[in-house]
Every structure is written in C-alpha cells, then in structure tokens.
Structure 1
Amino acid sequence: MTKTSSAKTNSGRFFEDYAVGDVLHHAVPRTVSGGERALYHALYPARHALYSSDEFARQSGLPKSPLDDLAAFHVVFGKTVPDVSLNAVANLGYAEGRWLLPVYEGDTLRSESEVIGVKQNSNGKSGVVYVRTRGLNQRDEVVMEYVRWVMVRKGDLDAPAPETVIPELNKIIPAEDLVIPEGLDFSDYDFGQAGEAHRWGDYQVGEMIDHVDGVTIEEAEHMLATRLWQNTAKVHFDATARPDGSRLIYGGHVISMARALSFNGLANAQMIVGLNGGAHANPCSSGMTVRAWSEVLGKAETSAPGVGAIRLRLVATSGAEPFTLKGDDGKYLPGVLLDLDYWALMPI
C-alpha cells in the first residue's frame, strides 16, 4: 500500500502563494495571564518598574501593571507565523509600529495581516513579503500595529515572479502620532523605586549609552521563549531547515534581551509606544553573548502630565565594540545583531 501525505496538514505558504491585497486572519487567539509576565521576566533580565509592580502602575495613572510591551508584541507576532513566515529564510525588518492600548491580564489577543508588498529575489529561489499586522483584543480594539518584511522560500522554483510591489513606509513615526495610554501620569513618579534618577531632561540628542552588561544566549532559553510565543517557524526548531544545521535564534528573543539590558542606563524609559524601524543585521545563534548600547535620536513633549517621549536607537551586538555599527562599505559589521529605532515614554 502506497503511503501519501495527508491534505489535512499545513505545509505553510511559500513566496508564490502571496499576493498584494491578501488579508490573513491568523488562527488561535490567546488569553494572556500573569504567567506570561512571570515567564517573560524569567527569560530576560526585565526590570522596568511599570511592568513589575501593580502599585507603581497605579501611581502612574494606570489601573494595574500591563503586560510588557514586547511580550504583547511577541504574542501578536507569534499568531502570524504559520501564515507569514513558516517557510521563512529570515525575518528582515520592521517599520511603522505603534502600541495603541495597554494589554492587561485577562485580555484575549488575535492577529490579522494584510500583504502590502512582494519582491522576488534575483536568485529565483525566494522572495520578500511585506505585511501590515494588527493585534486586536476581545473587544476588537486594535492594541498594536506594525509592518514587517520577511524572506520566504519558493515552493515551486518555476512559478512566475509576481509584479514587484515595494510599499512606501515612513522612516519615523511623528511624535504627535504616538498614542499615550489613557490616564498615564508621571507627575508623582518614584525614581527610587524605578531604579535610576535619570529623567527625560537629563538625556541629550546624540548621547551614547553603553549598557555594560551581557547575557549568553542558551539554546534551552530560546526554545522556551519561541514556544511561549507559539512561533512555529521551522528555522527556529528544525536543525535541518538551515544549511549550516543550526537553529536560528528568534529575532524577537534578541530584541527583548537587548531591551532588558538597556535598563542599565535607561531604567526610566518605561513604555515602548512606537517602532520606527528595525533590522536583524546578522543571525544570532546559541552560545553568543549579547550586549547592547543605545543612542538618543530625538525627544518630544507629550500631552500627558509629566510624560516625555524619547527616541532611541537600540543596538544588540555579539563581539562588536560599543558604538560601532557599519563598516566603510555601509554594511552592518558582523558582530551587530540588531538595529532598532523606537519611541519610549519617560518622566520629564
């Protein structure tokens, strides 16, 4: 008897399966609990006070401590993987990300994406897919949105290349388009409990901050994190999915590690509200020691009492010297893992 593959299983979408205008409604909504927070803080040295203490959050005008912004991002991102990046070669970058509502324990998150661009690579074996993703809660309120682009393998190398469509994306989210959580008030901000005395006015555009600390990436931690976010991309789990036989560390794991390391020097950059752009400059693998540095790119006042917005470049490295990013050829240095441009909220 000849065995055949069941049509009931999902082999994922390949590059030729995407078309601009497709709307993807991603499966398996997820209700978040205090478990997500505990695991997030176990996986990363995350210590920002607003996400650690209900009392600190209430003192800052919120009903209680929200889920870490990046934890919420990972949940929303993970929903998209089976439809967007199951057959990915690599996740390449981000733009136009905004956190629109805090996510609290008990909220149920789901995701939907629209294909906004496609471009086949010159080798004919893969292509880049651009999607705009929205995360929604149980009230159908959009809690976050972002654009990402990912390199996806072709399933049929003879499939014709689609017409190239590359979306025009804003390089910077204007400060006036940032959404400040309702009620947020840093007028009575407790710098002692937050861990540092540095406030918005103490940072200058162009200032560089070496976050000093480092964390060596372990295979087990990465696997736990990626499973926690229900990220099923083959390159993260299947050692045969990549030519070198290694499992690629989920880029979001590097983002969260770098953000947590940035606490040393930016403890009061409490909430992430905007993602201007980001690139996974080089792959990360188990055994690498991740360090981070930041550059202050801009500052803006907000309408919320005591709250300022600060634009930061967060760079994660492994083996690269602090404050070095690109070579004379304009390409990222081999030791640069992540280059992330984001807006955060900080007490004035």
Structure 2
Amino acid sequence: MAKTNRGRFFEDYRLGEVIRHAVPRTVSGGERALYHALYPARHALYSSDEFARSVGLVADKKGAPLDDLAAFHIVFGKTVPDISLNAVANLGYAEGRWHLPVYAGDTLRAESEVIGLKQNSNGKTGVVWVRTRGLNQHDDCVLEYVRWVMVRKGNPEAEAPETHVPELQPVLTADDLALPAGLDFSTYDFELAGEPHRWGDYAIGEQIDHVDGVTVEEAEHMLATRLWQNTAKVHFDSTARPDGTRLIYGGHVISMARALSFNGLANAQMIVGLNGGAHANPCLSGTTIRAWSEVLDKAETAAPGVGAIRLRLVATSGGAPFQLKGEDGKYLPEVLLDLDYWALMPL
C-alpha cells in the first residue's frame, strides 16, 4: 500500500466534496517579522502594537494582528497539497472575505468545498473551483475565498467528473464586508501612518503610480514558499517545468504589490474583501515588480471614522503605468497581477 501522496488529479475530485486540510498551524510574532522581512510592508496598523491599540484592534493584549495577506498565505498554503499540487496554473479568485483579525497565538486550519468542475477540451486537464475557509482554534471563520485552478489529469483516459461551473458574485458590496469589532479611526494619527491622504481625498477613477520597484530574488521566494508551506511543485522543483525555471508563487507577487502600494495608499490599512484576481503572466526570479492602482468605488461604513475603498491593484514587470490589456482584450505581457479588493481607510 502506497504511503506517499502524489496529490490529487482532476479526476479525483467530486462536486460537493469537503476536504479538511492538514496541518493546523499556530502563528506567532515570528510570522509577522518574517512577513515584514520578505516584503517592504509598512502599513502602521500591522507594524505597531501601539498604533493597533489606538484604533481599537489589540485583542487581550496580544499586540497588533497579523497582516491580512500573511493570514491568507497561511490558509492558502494548507490547501496546496490537496488542491494545487498538480496544478498547471492558479486561474483566479472571487468572493474573498476577511471576517476576523488573526493574532499571535491563534491556530489556523483550512477546509475547502469543491463547488465546480469542468474538464478542458484537450482531455488532459480540468478546472476545479473550491471555496476555502480558514478557521481558528475556536472554529470561527477568519477568512474565506473562492479560487479556481487548472489541474492535470493523472490518467487522460479517466472519465471526467460531472461538469458544473458555479455562479459567483462578480463584486462584493460594502454591505458584504465584515468590520473588525472595536475598529475606530476617529482619532487616527495620519503623521505616524506616513501619509495625510484620507478616504475623502480619493476619487473614483483616480489612478496612482506607486513609483517604486523591487526585484524578486530566488532566495526570498524560496523562503516565502517554505514559510507559507506551499508545496506546489512548480514553485520549488526546477524539474517540474520544461524550461527548468521555478515560478514565483502568485501570493508573493500579491504581497509585493500590496507593499509597494504603500507609496500613495499608506492609509488603506486593512484588506477586508477580495472581488477578483488574475495572475495574468508568470513571474520568474530576476523580475522587477512595479505597481499601480485605480480607485473603483468608495463607501462609508458603520464603524467610527472608517470608510471602505475598492481598489484595482496591478503588478507589472515594466512598461508604462496604467496599461492593462491590448486591443485583443488580452493582458499585456508585462502585466503580472490584476487584483480587485476592498480596504478600510480613515474618513
């Protein structure tokens, strides 16, 4: 009897199946420090316990919460051995919600429900849609999201699973967003946060060039891949791709672009919703990542002094900012990431 795990192939999934992922992980301040070492992350709420306390976000004297994307990476990494170990590509995201902050000492685990399956016309691969939930030690859902992945078939002759393409909400409304209990930006310190720009200073349609760039190195990507326990072969095994290259984990690009967006969006403090996302082109070691953003929508919230802002975050490997797709409607080759998300910002 085989004791090793080759990962699931497309024909191994069944619609409605719920997969409980191994292995639960207790987080500490170490994850926060490593996240800030890997990315130029400077948002004040996650950098300073005292700043987090000043806006009502220190739970039981545990200090500032873990960065939203660090929590996402931990939960995502739990799913890889069961969902994307044999993936060709991670295709997209939808309906992402951050329900609760994650603090040092919390233990996270993940479970995914298969909500869609569709074999590709080549008969060699198929697309799997899953809704993943990250749960803490109290079984509270801290975050959830839908993603879809192209997965190889282990046996091209195997019968395809039942076809079902799920209907997904194209955009979350502000009412769909969960606001952390106690969050209060009414006495927000703009000087310590790094920029004076508040919610009212941004206009729908405004575009922001974040100016800075960071060159991705092989060493930091390998550290990140291991830190998030992402076991997808294309990220760490140079023999997994015909050209011998290792793909940079898409989440690494997301976090790098989010960190770069600090220059111009320093007060977009918390990510609370993920409307959609696409890894438009592969990223390899040696690529210099740059980023720009577009304001897509704005809404007030019930929390004191807190507004919600919907942003498109685009990561590129070069070219002029604010260029996304060509005349054929396809992403330009320099576009690495197109992410649509909601963040919270002081009014």
Instruction: Give the alignment's TM-score, normalised by structure 2.
Output: 0.98
1:298 corresponds to which letter in structure 2?
D
Alignment pair present for 1:44 and 2:68 = no
Say if 1:320 and 1:333, in contact at 8 Å, map to a contact too. Answer: no
- The answer to whether structure 1 residue 293 and structure 2 residue 292 are counterparts is yes
The Cα shift of 1:19 comes to 1.1
Q: Does 1:221 align with 2:216?
A: no
RMSD across aligned positions (CA): 0.7
For 2:250 and 2:258, the matched residues in 1 are separated by 12
Single out whichever of 57-66 and 37-46 deviates more from structure 2: 57-66
CA distance in 2, matches of 1:62, 1:336: 35
Alpha-carbon distance in 1 for matches of 2:152, 2:24: 27
SS in 2 for 1:319: coil
Aligned to 1:3: none
The corresponding residue for 2:28 is 33
Determine whether 1:89 maps to 2:84. no
In structure 2, runs of 5+ residues without a counterpart are: none
Q: Contact between 1:312 and 1:341, CA under 8 Å: does it hold in 2?
A: yes
Matches for 1:138-287 after TM superposition, within 5 Å: 138-287=137-286
Shift of 1:95: 0.2
2:51 corresponding residue in structure 1: 56
| 159-168 or 302-311: bigger deviation | 159-168
Question: 1:163: Cα distance to partner?
Answer: 2.7
| Structure 2 residue aligned with 1:99 | 98
Aligned residues: 343
For the 8 Å contact 1:294–1:314, the answer to whether it is kept is yes
* CA distance in structure 2 between the aligned counterparts of 1:266 and 1:79, rounded to whole angstroms: 30
Shift of 1:161: 2.0
Percent identity over paired residues:
83
User: In the TM superposition, what is the alpha-carbon distance from 1:311 to its structure 2 partner?
Assistant: 0.1
Deviation, 1:245, is 1.2
Is the CA contact 1:222–1:249 (under 8 Å) kept in the aligned structure 2? yes
What secondary structure is seen at the aligned counterpart in 2 of 1:29? Answer: strand
1:37 is paired with a residue of what secondary structure?
helix
For 1:156 and 1:300, the matched residues in 2 are separated by: 49
Q: Would you say the 8 A contact 2:45–2:269 is kept in 1?
A: yes
TM-score (norm. length: structure 1): 0.98
Displacement of 1:160: 1.7
Matching residue of 2:339: 340
State how far apart, in whole Å, the 2-side matches of 1:302 and 1:331 are: 35
- Alignment partners' CA distance in 1, 2:336 and 2:159: 33
TM superposition shift of 1:134? 0.1
